[in-house]
Structures are given as structure tokens and as C-alpha cells.
Amino acid sequence: MNQVSSPLKGLWLTDFDGTIKPGRDPVAPADLAALKRLGAAGWFRVVATGRSLFGFVKAWPPGLELDALIFASGAGLCAWGAMGPGPLMAARVFTPPEAVAVLQAARSLGYAFFAYHAPPDNHHFYYYRSAAAPLGFERRLEIFAVQASPWSDSFLADGPAETISQVLIMVPADQADQAEAVFASRAPGFSVVRSSSPFGDQHLWLEIFPAGVSKGRAAADLAKGLGLAPAQAVALGNDYNDGDLLAWAGRALVTSDARPELLALYPAIPPAGQGGLAWAAEKILAEDGHG
């Protein structure tokens, strides 16, 4: 991890896609500069992303300074340094019986889904193509074809050969509530995190993790290890899967184009690509007497 001033002033957490990374466009230079300034002021800087470690490394912009990375919505946590990812600090996976239960429930719903391997190799996955697989499924499968393996019905009895950390089910947005309820009735006790499809295909993603996995839980565990309280944390987000992270942090802000449910709860910052992180950093450093 990068060197920070001691003692730490706080924990700065930001979502990536849609919060500081605007689609195919780069992270704003002002946001990159603000992260450097936060590090100099003694803040421990973390990106909390739904991407796999591999997916984040592919999109990692030059000049992005971090101290740690929460990836796969909290299933993985690694240190981060000047050269990129460092040692894996935490990883959460399903036990073999849990994997069978989750895969059986996912298959019974009839929607397309992916089942991801354990961190840090969770860019490798099995895929199940439904009769009406959405655009996002086909695009994602095309992008990551080299890492993909087809579904086998033998998994329903024996489980796959690889350890599974996450199952991502692609559900039409107007069927998400019912699908989540049915899944929970067939495989209770797991963490279900919603996120928006980035492909504009009117689908939501139901991401299934071992119990307790989320961005907020990973942030809480990291803060405890650093000796920091929630009141010392700032979180930025924009989507459903940022909800518990925003709720946990002492101060939370969301982009002005965030989900309406989040905008109703938290102050707004400029959207991704327009320096929202820099705006938030200037405001909070000034409030804390470091302006």
C-alpha cells in the first residue's frame, strides 16, 4: 500500500463506474489530482467496485493513486501500490454445499447467469445462456470469451470443479422483485446485491454472494483494521450496490445522476467525468480545516 501520513485522517471510499469513471471516457484529471491531495492530507484511499480485479486493472487509469481496492462488490480486498495491485487481503467464497444450493436456485429461475471463480481469479466464470438471454449477457460473454466456460447440469448435483465466489443473474427490471423473492425462498441466507446493467438492456443484475458480502461490510472490516470509525469515513457512489457502503460511512455523497432512491438520501456531487470527487474532496477538506 502507498505510504500515508500518520495518524490517518480518515477513510476515503469511492465507487468506480458511474461515480468517477464515465462509461468509455477517462476519469477526470481533477479527480486524479484530488486523490493525490487526499493521500498527502493523510486519508486512506479506496476504490470499491463491482468489477473483478482483472476488470479493474484493465480500466485502471494512469495516475490513479490508491491504498487499497475493494473489488467484486466486497468479495475481494487487496492492497494497492504505485505499480497496481498488491497482496490479496481478504476473499469470500461459497462452500461447496453453498455453491450447489445457489446454482440450483439460479438455474431454477430460468434467467441467464454467470458463476465466477474465487478471487483474485474471479474474471473466470461459467455461463448459463437462457432462451432469451439479454444483450448484456451476449456482450459480456463476447468481451470475456477467453475466460468463459459453459454451464453443465452436473453442477446441480456435484458443484463445479472451481470454487465459486459470486453468481450474477440477469433479470428483466420489471421482474427483479419477484425473481429476488423466489431466489431467497429457494436459497435463503445469502447476500443479494442489485446493480444496473451497463448495457442499456432494461435488465437488473442480481449478484449473489456468501452471507455478509457487500461493499459496506468490506469497508467496515478494512476500517477496523486501520483503527478508524465509520464517522471518519467518506463514501461516494451512484448505484444500488453502493447503498450499504453509503449508509455505513459517516459522510456520504452521490452523483447527481444517481438512482433516485439514493438522491433522496444523500447530497449530490457532479457526475462521473465532471470532477465530482474533486468537488467533494475540496468541500470536506475545507470542513476539516485542511482547505
Residue type, 277: L
| 113 and 196 fall within a common domain | yes
Decide if 230 contacts 250 (C-beta within 8 A). yes
The confidence score (pLDDT) of residue 264 equals: 97
Number of H helices, E strands in the chain: 10, 14
pLDDT at 54 over 70: yes
What's the CATH code of the domain at 247? 3.40.50.1000
Return d(Cα 274, Cα 272) in angstroms, integer.
6
Per-residue model confidence (pLDDT) at position 291: 54
Last residue of some domain: 209, 235, 252? Answer: 209
Taking residues 182-210, report their average pLDDT: 96
What end-to-end distance do the CA atoms of the chain give, in Å? 25
Same domain, 135 and 110: yes
Residues 62 and 117 reside in one and the same domain: no
Tens digit of each residue's pLDDT (9 = 90 or more) over 57-80: 999 988 899 999 999 999 999 999
Residue 2 clears pLDDT 70, i.e. is over it: no
> Domain for residue 163, yes or no?
yes
Indicate if the pLDDT at residue 289 is higher than 80: no
pLDDT higher than 70, residue 5: no
Domain membership flag for residue 5: no
Q: pLDDT tens-digit profile of 228-260? A: 999 999 999 999 999 999 999 999 999 999 999
Q: Does a structural domain hold residue 3?
A: no
Q: How far apart are CA 76 and CA 95, in angstroms?
A: 16
The proportion of the chain whose per-residue pLDDT surpasses 70, expressed as a percent, equals 97
> For 117-145, what is the mean pLDDT?
96
Asked if omega into 230 is within 30° of 0 (cis), the reply is no
**Which pLDDT belongs to residue 287?**
87
- Our count of domains for the chain comes to 2
Q: Give CA torsion, residues 207, 31, 81, 209, to 10 deg.
A: -10
For residue 1, being part of any structural domain is answered with: no
Closest to 117 measured CA to CA, from 75, 77, 88: 75
What is the pLDDT of the chain when averaged over all its residues? 95
Amino acid making up residue 6: S
Q: What does the pLDDT average to over 221-231? A: 97
**In terms of Cα–Cα distance, which of 126, 168, 123 is closest to 151?**
126
Cell numbers that stand for 223 in this block? 476500517
Q: pLDDT per residue over 261-283, tens digit each?
A: 999 999 999 999 999 999 999 99
Domain membership flag for residue 58? yes
15 with 75, same domain: the answer is yes
- With 0-12 / 13-18 / 19 or more C-beta atoms within 10 angstroms meaning exposed / middle / buried, residue 198 is middle
Owning domain of residue 14: 10-91+213-287
Among residues 164, 183, 209, which one ends one of the domains?
209
Is the model's pLDDT at 219 over the cut of 50?
yes
Residue 136 has pLDDT above 50, yes or no: yes
Q: What is the pLDDT of residue 290?
A: 63
Q: 3-class SS at 50? A: coil
The DSSP secondary structure of 73-116, one letter per residue, reads: GGTEEEEEETTEEEEEEEE----HHHHHHHHHHHHHHT--EEEE
Residues 217 and 80 in one domain: yes
CATH number at residue 126: 3.30.1240.10
